[in-house]
Amino acid sequence: MIGKPEWFTYRILGWGIRPKTKEGWLYIVGFIAVILAIAYLPVADAVRQAAIGVVVAVLVIDTLSIMVKLDSVHDERERMHQLIIERNCSFAAIVALLVALFWQGWQAQQGGMTTLSLSGMDPWLFGVLGVMLLAKIGTTLALRAR
């Protein structure tokens, strides 16, 4: 769309991308300038909010497009490092969710429940684990179908 993957690289801290060239920085500054310009336009609030929503939607869609294409501009070593980082983050997330579930179960048991049951556990944590599992299964099936 607007931005090019050559202008960006993977973030060191957190998720997403960060600018690595002056064009990448100009891309970010340009979007911020457009949003600020819209914010100070003398128009109705509804129009202003809709315009900002459109600009932010374009930015999000363009960022996702850049992220998908980012592997094509990195060498094999950088791609492998990113895969290892993402794998380790996934493992850490699974361990953290499981620890949280066991902690909640233990807390429920200490609170008077005589048996360990699912009623003292947050169903959202099970939902997150389920979404992670579905993403893994879907990705595996898609890659094997190629």
pLDDT at 56 (0 to 100): 96
For the chain, give every domain's residue range: 5-73, 76-144
Any idea of the CA torsion for 72, 5, 61, 39, to the nearest 10 degrees?
170
Tell me the residue type at 62: D
Are 36 and 104 in contact by the 8 Å Cβ rule? The answer is no
pTM of the model: 0.63
pLDDT at 78 (0 to 100): 84
Per-residue pLDDT of the chain in tens (146 residues, 90 and over written 9): 799 999 999 887 777 889 999 999 999 999 999 999 999 999 999 999 999 999 999 999 999 999 989 888 888 888 888 888 888 888 888 899 888 888 888 887 777 655 555 666 778 888 888 888 888 888 888 888 88
pLDDT at 83 (0 to 100): 84
> In degrees rounded to 5, what are phi and psi of residue 8?
-130, 165
Rounded Cα–Cα distance for residues 86 and 68 (Å): 14
pLDDT at 101 (0 to 100): 85
pLDDT at 74 (0 to 100): 83
